[in-house]
Amino acid sequence: MRRTALLCFAVMVTLFALGCGSKSTTAPATAPSLSQSAEIRNFTLPNLNVSVGTTVAWTNSDGTSHTVTDKGGKFKSGVLADGQSFIHTFNDAGIFNYFCEIHPSLQATIIVKK
């Protein structure tokens, strides 16, 4: 019994030592960096010019609810109450026309270049 316990202990120590010497091949997860902020204020959505890979954060600072909705269906924030934000990363070049679903007259354009 004692010999079995010592053998198990020796195997565990060896496995632990081997594991400590190995290198991980998995890169740590990183959050996307915020590249552009955009404020919804005075019933106005901002027009933006950004590069591919840019992350945009819209913050509703208007005192009433709004949405940030792409007419082509690429992004949709849902209802943003005053003080709430929506984040989207633009991975493709193009022209994105967006609007507020609650106030359809609020419209703007984002031009994404390579």
First to last CA, the chain: 69
Q: Answer yes or no: is pLDDT of 40 > 80.
A: yes
User: Greater confidence, 3 or 98?
Assistant: 98
pTM value surpassing 0.85: no
Helix/strand/coil percent split, the chain, to 5 = 20, 35, 45
d(CA 67, CA 48): 16
pLDDT at 58: 98
Q: How many CB atoms lie within 10 A of CB 16?
A: 10
Interval 59-73 mean pLDDT: 97
pLDDT at 4: 37
d(CA 60, CA 72): 22
d(CA 114, CA 108): 20
Least confident of 2-11, 33-42, 65-74: 2-11
The CATH number fitting domain 36-113, selected from 2.40.30.10, 1.10.4190.10, 2.60.40.10, 2.60.40.420: 2.60.40.420
Question: Are the CB atoms for 68 and 75 separated by under 8 Å?
Answer: yes
Q: Taking the domains of the chain in order of start, what are their residue ranges?
A: 36-113
Strands 94-99 and 107-113: antiparallel
